[in-house]
């Protein structure tokens, strides 16, 4: 399988607990896709780096990594 980075996202929230909930929801869900007989893929969101606090907002950068056959 080949790993391909498809999307990037920065999750912004006003509190650390909200950030934790949103990031965990993204990480726990796996996305599966099938098209015909030759193509199968699955992917999930992963964290890139650590949590950052910018003024009153908490930020976490995320990347969607997809594995294809």
Please state, in angstroms and rounded to a whole number, the distance separating the CA atoms of residues 14 and 19: 8
Neighbours of 62 (CB within 10 A): 20
How confident is the model at residue 44, as a pLDDT? 87
Q: What is the mean pLDDT of each run of 10 residues along the chain (69 residues)?
A: 79 96 91 65 87 94 83
* pLDDT score of 53: 94
How many whole angstroms separate alpha carbon 59 and alpha carbon 12?
Answer: 5
Both structure tokens of 10: 């920065």
């Amino acid at each position: 399988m080949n790993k391909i980075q498809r999307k990037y996202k920065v999750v912004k929230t006003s509190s650390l607990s909200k950030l934790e909930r949103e990031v965990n929801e993204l990480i726990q869900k796996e996305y599966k896709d099938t098209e015909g007989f030759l193509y199968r893929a699955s992917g999930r969101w992963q964290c890139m780096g650590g949590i950052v606090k910018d003024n009153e907002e908490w930020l976490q950068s995320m990347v969607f990594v997809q594995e294809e056959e």
